[in-house]
Amino acid sequence: MNPGKFHGVIPAMATPFTKDFELDEPRVRTLIDEYLSAGVHGISVAGSQGEFFALSAREHIRLLEISMDAINGRVPLYAGTGAATTRQAIEITSAAQSMGVDLALVITPYFVQPTQSELVEHFTAVAQATTAPVMLYNNPPRTSVNVTAATLAECMRRQDNIVGMKDSSGDLTQSIEYQLLAPRPALLFSGRDTIALAMMLHGAQGTISPAANVFPELMVRMYDALRAGHHEEALRISNIFAPLRAAWAWGSFPVVIKEAMQLVGRSAGPTRAPIAALPPAVREKLSEVVERIAAQA
């Protein structure tokens, strides 16, 4: 693995659906081109923000295929390949391996709430099914499962192609411990926009960012300012995003992201049922937040 290729701002891409709730393949390609034009450093697909849980196995694999073709080697593809069971995750990861994805992003199993020892067995089994780098994905607010730093370290000791963590826990102490306890240098990416800057100051290589769906250029500017040593400007931009992160709570996940994308002219269509569109009054509040961010940018 070339660790230097994995860095920067990676939109946690929302999966586009048509008005009939089918996978919108042309829109996938359009969104990817728009993100790349904004200067992002990679694309993450079929993650939580991408409603992977609402996709059939066929749709999931097709989404990876379209994304690989659309990116065409211009930046790395971070392919979400997690599932509720080890067997399902291996199936999707093996399919991703056959496409030549750059990295498999594997979320914890959900609903079943495995123990830490069961997580080690799960992640190592998935990693054994591919030669691609595997990055674990910790998102306890969504899965009710937390991956400890000791568990990541044990997974990395067992499998050389387990390379690090995307952490959406919001626990900065744990994020730092992922790197401190790792048996070799580990990739670390933020999945929480409000602490993405803090994580990068503590050594994270980048952010797999929900907000970059809406304002990719602004997130890239924050990253560039940080790398240039312009910390006050990076902090200013980070704080601009805070109201958008707070707005995520105004609707069922992940509808607010898609509504915000619509407001900036970057539509990804509706969310799949049972998640419904925002009520008009909430959409109006969200519009005010989006407009305020655009004005400050």
Per-residue pLDDT of 198-255, as tens digits, reads 999 999 999 999 999 999 999 999 999 999 999 999 999 999 999 999 999 999 999 9
Catalytic residue list contains 166? yes
Residue 277 has pLDDT above 70, yes or no: yes
What is the per-residue DSSP string for 163-197? EEEEE-S--HHHHHHHHHH-SS--EEEE--GGGHH
* Sheet strands (E) in the chain: 8-11, 43-45, 77-80, 103-107, 134-138, 162-167, 187-190, 206-209
Quote the CA–CA distance of 37 and 33 in Å, as a whole number: 6
pLDDT-based confidence at residue 3 (cuts at 50, 70, 90): low
Count the neighbouring beta carbons within 10 Å of the beta carbon of residue 113.
12
- Which pLDDT score, from 0 to 100, does residue 220 have? 98
32 is an annotated ligand-binding site residue: no
Structure tokens of 202?
């503590």
Structure tokens of 1?
């693995």
pLDDT in tens, 252-274: 999 999 999 999 999 999 999 99
Where do the domains of the chain lie, and which CATH numbers do they carry? 3-230 (3.20.20.70)
Catalytic residue list contains 285? no
Annotated catalytic residue: which of 35, 166, 178, 258? 166
**Which whole number is the average pLDDT over 98-124?**
97
pLDDT in tens, 60-104: 999 999 999 999 999 999 999 999 999 999 999 999 999 999 999
Annotated catalytic residue: which of 35, 78, 110, 137? 137
Helix (H) or strand (E) holding 86: helix 86-99
